[in-house]
Chain A
Amino acid sequence: MNDRHKSGLRGGGEGNVYKRIGLVGGSVFSGFVLTAGLFVALTERHPLLILYFGIAAIGIFFATYGSGRLLGWAVDSFFARAQAQM
């Protein structure tokens, strides 16, 4: 068994990577939506658009981060089970 799998089993290293990617990806995606919302709201002078885009950004962040956490947990469990069976 290589070090990658060992670290994944010990401290959830493999899963932590996905969680971190989820955090970064969620921030980037939601940041883009927020920036677009700000741009549109400022050019059109429509303040409610900031609210709409903000809600969308929060949803995108939680969807991305949540999927990262879920995949991290699933990958950790998968490797732990594979290790236990071997």
Chain B
Amino acid sequence: MSWTQIVLAPPLGPWLTFAVQTAPPAAVLVFIFVLLVAAIFVLLLICAGDPNRMLRMLLLLGPIAGAYCAIYVSGMIAIAGWPIMQIIERTFGLSGGSEAWVISLLNLNYVSLTMDALASVGLVVVLLIGAIWREQAGQHQRASEQQPELTGVFDQGAEGHSAEQAQPSSGGVRERQAQVGLAGGGGRQRL
């Protein structure tokens, strides 16, 4: 009995078979997905003239991030894929064909690659819309914050001007009152 037959024997066999059949194509699909997202951002950066000179770093970051994501996604599918499928099958009372359906879905073919590309383009579009939305909201907020500040400056200017006008008289009154008080106090002291 060869060791592959031993490994694929019933207790752990279905789990390992599922992992072997799903993890590698999932890793390739995830790697392509991240690489496509990075490639679209590179294209956008080239169109924008690369103002911050981040093109090289992005070109380096894309494959590294893709490999990282591929390892993690394939690892998680290999570890948790089969148990999750079992739980789903038992919870919803599905037939045993759901595992084969998942394996065929994750196979590398034109359909899965097209779905991958569409998902990456969709993600970039969503990220761009979010960034534009946030930028617009930030500009709105900055404008609305500047408006009260400006009116506040005008108000302060007006108040300052009126206070300057009023100060000599009020200062004079206070001085006079103090003089009177001092005089009174002095008078009392004298008395």
Please report A residues at the B interface, Cβ cutoff 8 Å: 18, 25, 28-29, 32, 36, 39-40, 43-44, 46, 48-49, 52, 60, 63-64, 67-68, 70-71, 74-75, 77-78, 81-82, 85-86
For B71, give its contact among A39, A40, A64 (CB under 8 Å).
A64
Which listed segment binds A: B3-11, B105-113, B120-128, B180-188?
Answer: B3-11
Number of A-B contacts (CB under 8 A): 68
What's the interface size class on B, roughly?
Answer: 20 to 34
Is the CB–CB distance between A67 and B67 below 8 Å? Answer: yes
Query: Which chain A residues border B60 with CB–CB below 8 Å?
Result: 74
**Is the CB of B81 closer than 8 A to any CB of chain A?**
no
Is the CB–CB distance between B54 and A74 below 8 Å? Answer: no
Is the CB–CB distance between A39 and B11 below 8 Å? Answer: yes
Is the CB–CB distance between B6 and A74 below 8 Å? Answer: no
A-B contacts, 18 listed (Cβ < 8 Å): A25-B71, A25-B72, A40-B7, A43-B11, A44-B6, A44-B9, A49-B3, A49-B6, A49-B7, A63-B71, A67-B71, A71-B64, A74-B57, A74-B60, A74-B64, A74-B65, A78-B54, A85-B53
Please report B residues at the A interface, Cβ cutoff 8 Å: 3, 6-7, 9, 11-12, 15-16, 52-54, 57-58, 60-61, 64-65, 67-68, 71-72, 75, 79
The 10 nearest A-B residue pairs measured at CB: A85-B52, A67-B68, A71-B68, A29-B75, A44-B6, A78-B57, A74-B64, A74-B61, A32-B79, A71-B64
Main secondary structure of the interface of B (DSSP, over half): helix
Measured CB to CB, the nearest residue on chain A to B61 is A74
Is the CB–CB distance between B61 and A52 below 8 Å? Answer: no
Bound Cα distance from A75 to B11, whole angstroms: 42
Q: Known A64-B71, A78-B54, A78-B58; judge A36-B12 contact (CB<8 A).
A: yes
Bound Cα distance from A42 to B185, whole angstroms: 106
